[in-house]
Chains A and B, each alone.
Chain A
Amino acid sequence: DAGVTQSPTHLIKTRGQQVTLRCSPKSGHDTVSWYQQALGQGPQFIFQYYEEEERQRGNFPDRFSGHQFPNYSSELNVNALLLGDSALYLCASSQTGTGLYNEQFFGPGTRLTVL
């Protein structure tokens, strides 16, 4: 049973560029959430996608956008990259409707470095 997969594993960009990160959820999961983890900190919630729509959003600017496809996979796009966007980007998947609680399973992350 494949878990959550993310690509690429590492990425180097320069300021002002745009980046797209990809995530495939765990088999049977229909909900994808994205988190940003800066060095020495816990993950910060960016947004969550369900039924191809953004359902929840954290305190991130509009430069951060996403998409969910009919097969439940998802993309995270960041425009006009800043040095402060350098972080580990984590994707988590879950199954909506299996109960009141939202247990999320994480992928290995994409390490983004902005120079």
Chain B
Amino acid sequence: DQQVKQNSPSLSVQEGRISILNCDYTNSMFDYFLWYKKYPAEGPTFLISISSIKDKNEDGRFTVFLNKSAKHLSLHIVPSQPGDSAVYFCAASGAWGTDSWGKLQFGAGTQVVVTP
């Protein structure tokens, strides 16, 4: 049962433009959401996170938006750079004290290619 879904397997964007990655989830008990970036032959690298008490979190070029009523989150990268070309994973976990705390559930990933 896939509780975190990334429906776009790939995204191509021009350098300098905005990249928007989407993620949907089905478990209403999820309380904390994270985005990871993964290069080939490396482990996932943490990018940015957001808790359910917020609807937006920014860190430099990266902004994550959370819409709890729609069970949807998105990652915006502005401006996109060639070094951003990687696979991006959305992940979610439950609140402290719940069964799903600490068990990160991942989407299948979106391959981003930034072209010059």
Contact = CB atoms under 8 A, between A and B. Distances in A.
Given A48-B102, A92-B104, 10 more contacts: A4-B43, A33-B102, A33-B104, A40-B108, A43-B104, A44-B106, A45-B104, A48-B103, A106-B44, A108-B42
Contacts of B45: 106
Given A43-B89, A48-B103, A105 B46 contact: yes
- Categorize the interface residue count of chain B: 20 to 34
The 6 closest A-B pairs by CB, nearest first: A42-B106, A106-B43, A45-B103, A100-B96, A102-B102, A106-B44
A30 B93 CA distance: 19
Interface of B: 4, 6, 32, 34, 36, 41-46, 49, 51, 89, 91, 93, 95-96, 101-109
Contacts of B108: 40-42
Interface residues of A, number: 27
B103 A58 contact: yes
Given A40-B108, A42-B89, A100-B95, A106 B103 contact: no
Interface in A6-56: 31, 33, 35, 40-45, 48, 55-56
With a 10 A CB-CB cut-off, give which of B6, B44, B106, B109 has the most chain A CB atoms.
Answer: B44
Contacts, number: 69
B42 A103 contact: no
B103 A56 contact: yes
A103 to B, nearest CB: 6
A42 B107 contact: yes
Interface of A: 4, 31, 33, 35, 40-45, 48, 55-56, 58, 90, 92, 94, 100-109
With a 10 A CB-CB cut-off, give which of B6, B43, B103, B108 has the most chain A CB atoms.
Answer: B43
Nearest to A102: B102
A35 B106 CA distance: 10
Given A106-B44, A107-B43, A101 B49 contact: yes
